[in-house]
Structure 1
Amino acid sequence: MPKTRVLLALAPVLLLTACGTEGGAGSGGADTVSPDLPVAGTAWRVEAVTVDGRRAAAPDGARVDFAEAGRARGNTGCNSFGAGVVLKGDTLTVSPDAVTEIGCPGDRQRFEKELLKAFSGPLKGTLKGDTLRLSSADGRNVLELNAEPDAPLRGTTWKIDGLVSKKTASSLPAGSEAKARFVVGADGRVTGNLGCNNFSATARLDEKARTLTVEGPAATTRMMCTSPQMKLETKLYELLDGPLTYRLNHRTLTLTDASGEGLTATAAAR
């Protein structure tokens, strides 16, 4: 097995056994195993990025999640991204490998470029309370992160940010990104916007089976919108016609039907 895959497979195990040593407890000698930075399974809000000594505050929605072994996912405040991560001691070696291509306003484009530059290569992590700093070796590039609490399925405004087709994820159609969102209410209703029109529907939530089923047709407004918005609305309306399996991971929600078609959504900033 290639060395990289071995390290990725061992990362969760090392996290759980970080307090052990090769030379025995309390040896403190040369054979001491340095504990891995405890980031596996955590979610973070990006506070700021420093690139080449220049610090920029993050826009709403910028985040990084270490939800999967050997992977990081996040959002720049505009586009979603993914990266491979190898964890060894207090160092994360990050290899960005996927970014969606939503057009961003100029200020968010600049921040996205800086975030992706800072979140790349070997980064030393320093964890103090709910704050994590990831710094390049020369200290000129720094990513400042604050821990985010898990978002509850009910009562959270979920901003739809992608579509799923079996195991392939894609961004929303260009020009349709701004409006699509929904809330699962405590009263059993799902309300929101499908990309163009507002909608409301009765839903049955089975938290044990992790399914959400819309019961009966959704009621919608009847506005005409741009072609990308209408295309997204048609897709989402079709998805609501049947039971959906959900996966909730910190502040990211994935809903898929029996064929593997579905959507991804991120908890909106409060």
Structure 2
Amino acid sequence: MKYITTIIVAFFLASCGAHMKNKQSINTSMNKKWELSAFGENKTSSNRPIYLDLSENGKVSGFVGCNRLMGTYVIESDNQIAFSQLGTTRMACGAKEMELEGQLLQLLSGTNSFTIENGKLNLSNGQSSAIFYEMSDNKIVNKYWKLTTLMGKEVEMADNQEREQYFILKSDHTITGFAGCNHFNGSYKLEEGNRIRFNENLAVTMKACLDGNNNESAFLKVFKMADNYTINGDVLKLNVGRRAPLAVFEAVYF
């Protein structure tokens, strides 16, 4: 009887040890910055990266669209997580930013499960979900790059132009931007040696701006031609081979 009891105790301790080891492994994979990519199948768009920073001590912080976030979280099992004591700063932003922030906060408040696979975190509350990617620390990613020079010539905004021409690279390897009349999006790939490749089939809206910016096609062509980049502080150059830069950009911070 004593022998059987010893076996049961040993089995129980081994199970607890395996569970704790598995939980530590989960914590390690969770403890990083996660950039929001999509709600379900719908991609998100923002001029600043929306992210969660899950620390080792059970604290969560980040940026949720307009305000900074703070709170706590606990991993309750292999795939269960709960956020609590969530709070934000009190900044007011545009309707689009506030709507996105409200959706994310509502999701986090009810989140009860998660999965991590191939650098992607999925949080779910049973009815909706959000997808996050490991936040890139590459200097070219997660910055608002405003076009300043195109094919060697300084650019100026047309009188009726909606906004400056720009692009943003996100951690999920997607690109979004504004070409002067139309918005565009697509994908990109970074390689060693400051090599960069953009998907040649960028998706571009079909707005007609007859009296607007007349260099839109030239700007979009940059992303078809560029194969490398140079970056010096807040100045970025997209190049092809070793020729003069196709375009020069300046980082803008909000």
Q: Do they fold alike, i.e. is TM over 0.5?
A: no
Q: Which has the larger radius of gyration?
A: 2
Name whichever structure is richer in strand by fraction: 1
Interval of TM-score (by shorter of Structure 1 and Structure 2): 0.3 to 0.5
Name whichever structure is richer in helix by fraction: 2
- The alignment's TM-score, normalised by the length of structure 1, stands at 0.41
- The alignment's TM-score, normalised by the length of structure 2, stands at 0.43
